[in-house]
């Protein structure tokens, strides 16, 4: 009888420990919680965030080029300029809308401005 109670207590402790591990979240480099049960999703979201930061940075470069030259640049004109174009983190590329200067990611991470 005593042994049975001990087994139940150990089983309950192991269950609590495993439950704690499975629901634990980690903290990413930017301080935001990362879902450790789905590392691929966390990685995708980090790549998307990095790309969207690039879209904003490139759009700033587009605006600076336009202020200096009186017209919108093409992506290759920007790449030939003094500031290096950021690389698309998923291996895609960036395109500049010749009508508006909006920057679009070929890997589907969006456009800036929307």
Interacting residues with Zn ion (CB under 5 A): 51, 88, 105, 107, 109
Shortest CB 55 distance to Zn ion, Å: 8
Residue 105: closest CA among 56, 41, 40, 64: 56
Cα dist. 2→15, 34, 105 in Å? 20, 43, 66
Shortest CB 45 distance to Zn ion, Å: 12
Q: Which is nearer to Zn ion, 36 or 90 (CB)?
A: 90
The dihedrals phi and psi of 61, each to the nearest 5 degrees, come to -65, -40
Q: Which is nearer to Zn ion, 46 or 107 (CB)?
A: 107
Shortest CB 91 distance to Zn ion, Å: 9
Q: Which is nearer to Zn ion, 109 or 112 (CB)?
A: 109
Distance CA(58)–CA(83), nearest Å, equals 10
């Amino acid at each position: 009888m005593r042994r049975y109670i001990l087994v139940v207590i150990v089983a309950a402790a192991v269950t609590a420990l495993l439950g704690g591990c499975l629901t634990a979240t980690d903290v990413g480099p930017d301080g935001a919680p990362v879902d450790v049960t789905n590392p691929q999703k966390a990685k995708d979201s980090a790549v998307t965030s990095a790309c969207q930061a690039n879209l904003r940075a490139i759009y700033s470069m587009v605006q600076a080029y336009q202020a200096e030259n009186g017209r919108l640049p093409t992506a290759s004109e920007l790449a030939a300029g003094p500031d290096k174009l950021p690389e698309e983190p998923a291996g895609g590329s960036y395109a500049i809308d010749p009508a508006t200067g909006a920057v679009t990611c070929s890997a589907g991470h969006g456009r800036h401005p929307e």
